[in-house]
Chain A
Amino acid sequence: MSSITSQEIKVEFLKSKIGITGVVILSILIFTSIIVIVVIPVDTFKGWNNPENWISYPKVAIPVWINLFLSEKIPEHRILDTPNINYGMSGDILIITHQFGINFDYDDFPNDFIYEFSTKYSGTPLLQMDVIRPDGIQLKLLSTSLPHSDSNSIHSERIFSTDEAIRKNLYLQSNKFLFSLSNLSSEDIIFSKTENHKPLKGNYIFLIKMYGNNLENQIPESKLIIGGKAFGMMGTDELRRDLAMGLLLGTPLALFIGLVVAIASVVMGLLYGAYAGYRGKKTDETMMRFNDVIYALPALPFLIILSVTVSNSIFMMVGFLMLFGWVGVAKVARSMALQIKTRGYVEAASMMGQKNSKIVLRHILPQLLPYAFASIAISVPAAITTEAGLSFLGLGDPSFPTWGQILHDANVYGAAARGLWWWIMPPGIMIAITGLAFVFIGNALDAIINPKLKR
């Protein structure tokens, strides 16, 4: 095996199609993770488990692109935060108008709508909310006075579509509809045709007006959320988290775990095995017995025990995975070292009085490098799936959104039985793709090192 030079490996590798596919997938993944690390701020990363960050997102929303395949369009979740702002005067009263336009082109009613705002005022301004429908009908939704304040103060509020006042106002205008409005929620009425209870498509305009006699009144923040059942590229989960974000954040983590564990355990195994093989005799015997002991340990139960008793931080987990990863490599490295040791140049080197460590590092290890690369590539998927498995059991580091963690949440909320495929499929596919990339590379290298299998 040692007759292959690195140049030959490169040439052979470029010839193998799987190898190149693997490298291409891997570079795409690495590219994504670099972008993720650079573009996504640390706050988003830390805020993954904070429900407050996700409050304006919908619950278990299906990915948006699914609408391309459906004849009946599912309403998209819309967050409108750039209103058209107008200031007007009527006498000495200042009227601030915020106008939200939405093109509603779906075959189902939205879930709800929420108007989220914060105002700066003094006195007792009046807030009025209207909607102009595509058929020209203007519905009054709400007209309420904000709490009185003498000085200039800030007031934040959320107005929900479930508000009783909105419902009452709509009932008062029930003569515009040809069917009974009882037991319908406000969004079902607003977005309905007048003749029957079907969604009316077209442009809706939501008008929010604030009347006040203080000229310094302002609405600095104003956001209208039309709650839908579809959101984003990958949908959202039960805790309203954007799954696309989770998948992206998981990429660098998975690569980090896989690569660090694989490289570290292969290097450990190589050094251990090569040294044992080179020294031979009693050293070899004791070192290999120790190896056997670890080999006989059931890995997964021990990983679980370790993560329960010691710590479940992601860095400790990497360490634990390493503990069990080096054993197999050490065995092979030892048997290869036994062969290499008998070569003339190694004997010559030892006769010249070179130090053991130098012989192992200079003369034996370089011969094992091709094997090392192949086994690194092959052990990466194992590390990733093991970590994902532990996270899936709920033993992972909860502060890091790994793919296993997402799947764990999916399982906890019964995503499989509820048919929430967009919650289950993507993380698993990502795990599999990452694994495949490394397996492809590993197999291509393996075929070069062991030409016997290639035939």
Chain B
Amino acid sequence: MITLLITIALVGSNMDSILKQEVAFQIRSEITENPTISKSFSSVDEFESFIQTQIEQRVKTLGLDEPWYSPQRIGLTMYKILFLDFGHATFLTSDSGSSDVREIILEKLPRTILLFTTATIIISVIGIFLGALSGSKVGSIIDRITSSFAIISSSFPVWWIGMLMIFLFSFMYQIFPARATPLIPSSDPSYIGSLLYHMTLPLITIIIIGFGSWAYLVRNFIVGIMQEDFIIAKKIMGINQKKIIYTHALKNAAPPIVTILALSLSGSLGGAIITEAVFDWPGMGRLYFEAITVMDLPVIIGATYLLTVFFLISIFVADLLYGYFDPRVRTG
């Protein structure tokens, strides 16, 4: 809610002036298109004043005369948003041409899920196994490679790697296309295949950059747990190392890992604005960016709201799972 308020506060004044201009433009064109009205005036001044009063009337009926921070207007906006009615976008349209914000978002969301959520899942799986592996053999070659890879990859911007990947794989060895949006219309049966093919390059990029830090995180959890008494006891009992790591240590490391996983999954819905810009992937991130650059308030609010809701839901789910994995936090 507060996120929304701040968003509205930030873009509200700009939006108002845009809306007012639009109303003025509409009325002007309506009147000039109708020659009978314009002929009925004797002088230019009279004509102008008539237009002016018309504009003021229209502004009043739309409620635009009150400033955007008036409780009435904010209340109305918030109320509408609660019921997922985001209204109509001012500039942007979906691919099918609809300007309904809900339709636009519903169109972009699956694409982002396809790319970023898939990437997040792959990253976390690789990360957890690699982390567990290097965490159990601290100081080994695998551990060193993973740790240094994590450190190095964290300081490269993803989008820059993206540009390099485009350079390497679409310019040098023309394996993958540079643009991530398929050219065939979505009704074509081969669309899905083509989409997956176009998706490969961004997917690889995101995974390369992402899994290092995951592995490093998991490694640090595991290292901490491997020093606990119960693990040492198990070792002394002669249970084999692999079993200890994958059943006992990982289960104990699960709570923080699940929390991070839930957060990064919900975060992945927003897409990465810059990565989508580089690969020209028509998902939520690019929608967001386009909406912000043209100041399309309904779209900005809709997307922000949806992401915040997902964020809260995932925190809630993570808390529940936390209780499941770590019975200590369950209370009465």
Contacts and interface: CB of A to CB of B under 8 A. Distances in A.
Interface of A: 293, 296-298, 300-302, 304-306, 308-310, 381, 385, 388-389, 392-393, 407, 410-411, 415-419, 421, 424-425, 427-428, 431-432, 435-436, 438-440, 443, 452-453, 455
Interface in B60-79: none
A294 B285 CA distance: 21
Contact of A301 (B156, B223, B227, B288): B288
19 contacts: A296-B308, A301-B300, A304-B273, A309-B14, A389-B274, A392-B157, A392-B274, A393-B274, A393-B289, A421-B167, A424-B163, A424-B164, A424-B167, A428-B163, A428-B164, A431-B160, A432-B152, A452-B223, A453-B224
Interface stretch (B3-11, B20-28, B105-113, B236-244): B3-11
Given A305-B10, A393-B277, A417-B170, A439 B155 contact: yes
B304 interface: yes
Contact of B11 (A309, A411, A428, A431): A309
A452 B11 contact: no
Max count, chain A CB within 10 A of own CB: residue among B160, B161, B220, B270: B160
A293 B3 CA distance: 8
Contact of B171 (A304, A407, A416): A416
Given A293-B2, A298-B3, A455-B227, 6 more contacts: A300-B274, A392-B157, A393-B274, A393-B289, A416-B171, A452-B224
A298 B270 contact: yes
B166 interface: yes
Contacts of A435: 154-156
A381 B155 contact: yes
B167 A419 contact: yes
B172 A305 contact: no
B171 A419 contact: yes
B292 A305 contact: yes
B247 interface: no
Interface of B: 2-3, 6-7, 10-11, 14, 138, 151-152, 154-157, 159-161, 163-164, 166-167, 170-172, 178, 220, 223-224, 227, 270, 273-274, 277-278, 288-289, 292-293, 295, 300, 304, 307-308, 311
A298 B163 contact: no
Contacts of B304: 298, 301
B20 to A, nearest CB: 17
Given A306-B10, A309-B11, A411-B278, A453 B159 contact: no
A417 B51 CA distance: 51
A440 B270 contact: no
A300 B273 contact: yes
B112 to A, nearest CB: 14
A302 B167 CA distance: 30
A308 B295 contact: yes
A296 B311 contact: yes
Contacts, number: 123
Contacts of B138: 455
Contacts of A411: 163, 278
A302 B154 CA distance: 22
Interface majority SS (helix, strand, loop, mixed), chain A: helix
A431 B292 CA distance: 26
Contact of B167 (A309, A389, A416, A431): A416
Nearest to A300: B273
Nearest to A417: B178
Closest 3 CB pairs of A and B: A435-B155, A428-B160, A416-B166
A93 to B, nearest CB: 58
Contacts of B171: 416-419
Given A381-B154, A417-B171, A455-B138, A425 B164 contact: yes
Contacts of A410: 163
A311 to B, nearest CB: 13
Nearest to B178: A417
A431 B157 contact: yes
A452 B227 contact: yes
Nearest to A290: B2
A439 B289 contact: no
Given A293-B2, A439-B151, A455-B227, A308 B293 contact: yes
Contacts of A431: 155-157, 160
Given A417-B170, A428-B160, A453 B220 contact: yes
A392 B162 CA distance: 13
Contacts of B227: 452, 455
Max count, chain A CB within 10 A of own CB: residue among B157, B224, B293, B295: B157
Nearest to B179: A417
B149 to A, nearest CB: 12
B3 A305 contact: no
B297 to A, nearest CB: 10
A309 B157 contact: no
Contacts of B178: 416-417
Contacts of B292: 301, 304-305, 308
Nearest to A436: B155
A305 B311 contact: no
Nearest to B288: A301
A389 B156 contact: no
A55 B155 CA distance: 36
A403 B242 CA distance: 46
A402 B255 CA distance: 41
Contacts of A440: 151
Given A421-B167, A436-B151, A455-B227, A428 B156 contact: yes
B311 to A, nearest CB: 6
Contact of B155 (A392, A415, A432, A453): A432
